[in-house]
Every structure is written in structure tokens, then in C-alpha cells.
């Protein structure tokens, strides 16, 4: 948001040397002042790539060049903008980057579909025959989506400004030296 307001993304939509606009129908100062990134996510892939490359160029060390992206000193030379737009992780409060209304999810594996089927229909009728022939979607609950800084194995990052959800690691061997002791969920 602050980088767009400072005009550091304007070059993406400015006319090039031959007068052709680089990206049409993209207005960074409007798109990035929204409370979510939904408008940005609705843009074409070429917009995402251009914004990504621009951000890389702004944060790239001066003098460091690669074949595609050239370093841009605009942020390096602007200490007030740096202090307003870059913060230590432990001082940061995370927000949901998107407004999620509704979504459809799909069973990702036979085991997932079977486990859910057991919950709804019992063990004898867990996997419906049509699951083997077409993807099965179900209505997701957007109310269960919120920001979290928990890592995949439940350890936390930062100063506790995050959800208390402990993310599972999947199955873990109880004793790595003795596989007969079975496994547990992380």
C-alpha cells in the first residue's frame, strides 16, 4: 500500500518509450489501498509478475543485477518510506490478505474421501462409487479461515499476535528406531 502511494509502482502503468502503456486496466494506487488483496488477485498473471518483479527490484541490493530484473534504488534512498513500510516480524500484526466469501473444496485423496465418508456414512459405505470416476467437491466454510503464524508443526513465530491453532505435522513415527511402535499425529 505505502509503496503504491509513494508512486513506486506507477512505472508499471506508465506509457513506455514507444507510447504503449505497459499494463492496462491496472491502477496500483487504487488496487493496493483496498482492505484486502482481492482486486489484486483478480488481475491477470502479467500484473502479478510485473508487481513481483518490481518489488524484487526495489528490495534488491544496489549493484546486484540478474538477467531479468534491474535493481531500483528508489526504496534504498528513501529512509522515511523504509521506516513506514518495513517492520520487524515480532512487531507485526497479521491480517487475512483476502476477503473470502464462499469456496468449494475437493477431496484431495482417496484416504481423505474415505475418512470423511466414515464420519458421514459409516465404515461400510464410506467411499461412494462415483468418487473413483469424478472429483467430488463440497461447500467449504469460510468462517474457519483466519490468519495464523503457526508453522506446519505448530511452533509459533513472533510475539504471540497470532492464532492459537496448532497445525498438525501429519503422521510421525513414535520411535524412529523402532517402526513397530506405530505412529501418531503431530
Residues taking part in catalysis? 112
Instruction: Give CA–CA dist 71/51, Å, rounded.
Output: 14
CB 13 within 8 A of CB 28: yes
Q: CA–CA distance from 43 to each of 81, 99, 112 (Å)?
A: 26, 15, 33
Amino acid at each position: 500500500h505505502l509503496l503504491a502511494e509513494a508512486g513506486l509502482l506507477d512505472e508499471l502503468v506508465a506509457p513506455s518509450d514507444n507510447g504503449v502503456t505497459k499494463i492496462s486496466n491496472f491502477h496500483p494506487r487504487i488496487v493496493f489501498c483496498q482492505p484486502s488483496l482481492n482486486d489484486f488477485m483478480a488481475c491477470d498473471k502479467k500484473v502479478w509478475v510485473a508487481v513481483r518483479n518490481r518489488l524484487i527490484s526495489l528490495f534488491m541490493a544496489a549493484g546486484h543485477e540478474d538477467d531479468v530484473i534491474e535493481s531500483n534504488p528508489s526504496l534504498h534512498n528513501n529512509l522515511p518510506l523504509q521506516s513506514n513500510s518495513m517492520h520487524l516480524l515480532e512487531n507485526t500484526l497479521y491480517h487475512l490478505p483476502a476477503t473470502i466469501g464462499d469456496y468449494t473444496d475437493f477431496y484431495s485423496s482417496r484416504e481423505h474421501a474415505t475418512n470423511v465418508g466414515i464420519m458421514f456414512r459409516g465404515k461400510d459405505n464410506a467411499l461412494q462409487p462415483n468418487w473413483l470416476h469424478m472429483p467430488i467437491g463440497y461447500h467449504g466454510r469460510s468462517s474457519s479461515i483466519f490468519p495464523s503464524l503457526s508453522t506446519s508443526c505448530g511452533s509459533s513465530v513472533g510475539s504471540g499476535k497470532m492464532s492459537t491453532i496448532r497445525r498438525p505435522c501429519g503422521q510421525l513415527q513414535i520411535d524412529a528406531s523402532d517402526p513397530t511402535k506405530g505412529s501418531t499425529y503431530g
